[in-house]
Amino acid sequence: MRADVPSLSPTFAQRTRINVIDEKLHSIGREIAAISQRDPDRPAIITTDGCVMTFGELEHDVDALAASFAAAGLATGDVVALLCRNRPEWMVTYEAALRAGVTLLPVNWHLEADDVQYVLEDSGAKALLAESVFSPQAEGVPASLVLRIAIGGPIDGFESWNDVLSSASTPSPERPRGTQMIYTSGTTGRPKGVRHDPQPSSSAAAAGTAMVAMFGMDGDNGDSMLCTAPLYHSGPSRLCLEWPLGAGVAVVLMDRFDPRDALGLIDKHAITHAFFVPTMFNRMLAVPDRESFNVSTLRFVLHGAGPCTVATKQAMFDWFGPVIHEIYAASEGPGTWITPQEWLAHPGSVGRVDPERLRIRREDRSTADADEVGTVWFFSASKFRYHGDPEKTATTYDESGDWYTVGDRGHIDADGYLYLSGRTAECINSGGVNIYPARIDEALAAAPGVIDGAAFGLPDDDLGEIVAAAIVISDGADPDASITSTIDHCREVVGSQLTPKRVFVVDELPRSDAGKLYRSRLVQQFTGE
């Protein structure tokens, strides 16, 4: 990857000085600066069109933007909003926010103008950096913004990215480490911002070091990370950006996921690390000539952001080999982790739990027995709050103020492994029986000719609700025959009670770019409510 860059070959004295510099810079959260001083020509970001940003260039832009934040009067903790697709400027802004001590608010670029306005006003944002393709959403922003920067092209009333960076005249000041505020997608009503207290630089550095060790990432050995998911989600911004770059690992950045393009990038760049969501697995498995791509360089593949069926994950293991790890977490905090070997021994699990950090509780909040389904509760090691909604914050925590839930349901087996069964908000009450759709989704995905499927509840005069399902079928498949075979398959796999009473064939399911299913939209689609 760096054949055109001459070796620096530092002497022992130089290496000793470099190590001292590295240690000092890491201690104040400037990992990018440490890599830049040691190896400025090392590729940091590689885009799908072949453009390369080196660590030296990245460090320059990060420091210039952080200095611009300070020059504009942004104080520690002030909110800086970012409305931008996956591109190098996104990464520069993220790192600059950490360095400048501000709170970065990544805005979902699928939002309409009024929703963008709501997020900016609700968060109290003081600055907005927006890509020019989103000028319709950006031009009506609050007048209270003290800084507006246009990325990739002009936006009326905004300064250009290049002008802002070139005008920065002083180094960025040393400040407490910045943080993020992620707006949850929500199932009903407006989304809410999840705010965490800033993490001390030393703690953040220790966490990053631990994750890099778990990933087995080594930038000095030429490792690379394929970033496939939108960076406005909290997981990819750390997993695919902050931690790899802090370890000197080159990030190959996809502006938008395409299964063939992803496989082509793995092959072309000999990718060693990658992040996917289950929907991406399904789409790659459906590529007709997928076996023609070389994926043997992959040593560590991570997936998360949504449930993955056993059938899909087993198919990926058969293809990629035992390199697939899974993370279960939320914007509110971390959850569990499962290695390839653990999953193969416990198919369907999302990881072994630490009972001091995760428990299953009954409705009366007593601890459930092994294999008993209940609500998943997490210990809050890092306190969070929902921005502007103390009531929601209070109801998310228990009476101790130390444990919280996001409404997930599941059980822990006798070996201590967690299995998820759905969310409380997605529960289908049919004839007085609570039915959680995860097992049905699993059966749907394994049905003959079904590419994707999801169960949901429909109103019923007799039972209150009935189980329904929407499926995406293979090209050329007969819809009526697919419906019949899907119902027969579900009856055989999960029994009559969980078998959908109605099945609809759709072109696609309502999912986010991160693969999250918006189940409530299916209800709206087929009830008109």
| CATH number of the domain bearing residue 501 | 3.30.300.30
Q: How confident is the model at residue 118 (pLDDT cuts 50, 70, 90)?
A: confident
Which residue do the tokens 């909040």 mark? 365
Spatial separation of the C-alpha atoms in residues 361 and 222, rounded to whole Å: 45
Same domain, 169 and 59: yes
* Secondary structure of residue 149 in the 3-state scheme: strand
Q: How confident is the model at residue 284 (pLDDT cuts 50, 70, 90)?
A: very high
Choose among 110, 121, 63: nearest CA to 518.
110
Secondary structure of 97-140 in the HEC alphabet?
Answer: HHHHCCEEEECCCCCCHHHHHHHHHHHCCCEEEEEHHHHHHHCC
> Is-contact 483 492, C-beta < 8 A?
no
Domain count, the chain: 3
Of 429 and 92, which is predicted with more confidence?
A: 92
pLDDT in the model for residue 301: 96
pLDDT in the model for residue 290: 95
| CATH number of the domain bearing residue 92 | 3.40.50.980
- 173, 196, 219 - which closes a domain: 196
Tally of CA atoms within 13 A in the half-sphere of 103 that contains its CB: 19
* Secondary structure of residue 145 in the 3-state scheme: coil
pLDDT in the model for residue 108: 85
pLDDT in the model for residue 130: 96
Please indicate, yes or no, if residue 220 is contained in any of the structural domains.
Answer: no
Residue 188, pLDDT above cutoff 60: no
Q: Alpha helix (H) ranges present in 103-252?
A: 113-123, 135-138, 161-167, 201-215, 234-236, 243-246
Spatial separation of the C-alpha atoms in residues 511 and 257, rounded to whole Å: 14
Class of residue 35 by CB neighbours under 10 A (exposed 0-12, middle 13-18, buried 19+): buried
pLDDT in the model for residue 204: 66
Q: How confident is the model at residue 82 (pLDDT cuts 50, 70, 90)?
A: very high
> Could you tell me the maximum CA-CA distance found in the chain, to the nearest angstrom?
81
The values of phi and psi at residue 227, to 5°, are -95, 110
Same domain, 398 and 434: no
Q: How confident is the model at residue 521 (pLDDT cuts 50, 70, 90)?
A: confident
pLDDT in the model for residue 32: 86
Residue 190, pLDDT above cutoff 70: no
Work out the percent of the chain whose per-residue pLDDT is above 90: 45
Please indicate, yes or no, if residue 235 is contained in any of the structural domains.
Answer: no
Please indicate, yes or no, if residue 12 is contained in any of the structural domains.
Answer: no
Residue 249, pLDDT above cutoff 70: yes
Same domain, 445 and 519: yes
Spatial separation of the C-alpha atoms in residues 439 and 453, rounded to whole Å: 11
Class of residue 79 by CB neighbours under 10 A (exposed 0-12, middle 13-18, buried 19+): buried
Token digits for 439?
């097992």
Please indicate, yes or no, if residue 419 is contained in any of the structural domains.
Answer: yes
- 196, 212, 231 - which closes a domain: 196
Q: What average pLDDT does the segment 90-103 reach? A: 93
Q: How confident is the model at residue 20 (pLDDT cuts 50, 70, 90)?
A: very low
The values of phi and psi at residue 5, to 5°, are -105, 120
pLDDT in the model for residue 433: 66
Spatial separation of the C-alpha atoms in residues 333 and 194, rounded to whole Å: 10
Of 383 and 83, which is predicted with more confidence?
A: 83
Average pLDDT, the chain: 84
Dihedral (Cα; 216, 219, 220, 222), 10-degree rounding: 100
Q: Which residues are within 8 A (CB) of 410 and not within 5 positions of it... i.e. 6 or more apart?
A: 360, 373, 374, 376, 418, 419, 420, 421
pLDDT in the model for residue 393: 80
Residue 486, pLDDT above cutoff 80: yes
pLDDT in the model for residue 19: 43
Range from 231-240, 271-280, 409-418 carrying the lowest mean pLDDT: 231-240
Range from 32-41, 164-173, 510-519 carrying the lowest mean pLDDT: 510-519
Give pLDDT tens digits for 23-56: 544 444 568 888 999 999 999 999 998 899 999 9
Token digits for 417?
């492994």
Spatial separation of the C-alpha atoms in residues 504 and 482, rounded to whole Å: 10
* Secondary structure of residue 498 in the 3-state scheme: coil
Spatial separation of the C-alpha atoms in residues 148 and 130, rounded to whole Å: 8
Identify the helix (H) or strand (E) that includes residue 487: helix 479-494
Q: What average pLDDT does the segment 221-231 reach? A: 92
Q: What average pLDDT does the segment 410-431 reach? A: 82
Q: How confident is the model at residue 529 (pLDDT cuts 50, 70, 90)?
A: low
Range from 89-93, 130-134, 183-187, 381-385 carrying the lowest mean pLDDT: 183-187
Q: Do the strands 333-338 and 324-330 form a parallel or antiparallel pair, or are they unpaired?
A: antiparallel
Same domain, 62 and 77: yes
Please indicate, yes or no, if residue 302 is contained in any of the structural domains.
Answer: no
For residue 383, the Cα-to-chain-centroid distance in whole angstroms is 20
pLDDT in the model for residue 9: 33
Residue 162, domain extent: 54-196
Spatial separation of the C-alpha atoms in residues 433 and 383, rounded to whole Å: 35
Work out the percent of the chain whose per-residue pLDDT is above 70: 88
The values of phi and psi at residue 148, to 5°, are -135, 125
Q: How confident is the model at residue 262 (pLDDT cuts 50, 70, 90)?
A: very high
Q: How confident is the model at residue 408 (pLDDT cuts 50, 70, 90)?
A: confident
Q: Do the strands 273-276 and 300-303 form a parallel or antiparallel pair, or are they unpaired?
A: parallel
DSSP 367: B
Same domain, 381 and 432: no
Same domain, 446 and 354: no
Please indicate, yes or no, if residue 229 is contained in any of the structural domains.
Answer: no
- 398, 426, 454 - which closes a domain: 426
The values of phi and psi at residue 335, to 5°, are -130, -95
| CATH number of the domain bearing residue 411 | 2.30.38.10
Task: List, in sequence order, every residue forming a beta bridge with 388; answer none if it has no partner.
Answer: none
Same domain, 422 and 472: no
Spatial separation of the C-alpha atoms in residues 229 and 222, rounded to whole Å: 22
Q: What average pLDDT does the segment 185-200 reach? A: 64
> Is-contact 372 360, C-beta < 8 A?
yes
Residue 515, pLDDT above cutoff 80: no
Residue 189, pLDDT above cutoff 60: no
Same domain, 155 and 78: yes
Please indicate, yes or no, if residue 495 is contained in any of the structural domains.
Answer: yes
Residue 140, pLDDT above cutoff 80: no
Identify the helix (H) or strand (E) that includes residue 465: strand 464-473
Spatial separation of the C-alpha atoms in residues 443 and 437, rounded to whole Å: 10
Residue 224, pLDDT above cutoff 90: yes
Following DSSP, what letter does each residue of 289-356 receive, concatenated? TGGGS--TT--EEEE-SS---HHHHHHHHHHH-S-EEEEEEETTEEEEEE-HHHHHHSTT--EE--TT
Residue 295, pLDDT above cutoff 90: yes
Q: What average pLDDT does the segment 122-130 reach? A: 93
- Cα R_g (the chain), whole angstroms: 24
Residue 16, pLDDT above cutoff 50: no
Same domain, 125 and 170: yes
Give pLDDT tens digits for 366-389: 999 999 989 899 988 777 777 877
Q: Which residues are within 8 A (CB) of 7 and not within 5 positions of it... i.e. 6 or more apart?
A: none
Range from 83-87, 135-139, 393-397, 468-472 carrying the lowest mean pLDDT: 393-397
pLDDT in the model for residue 432: 60
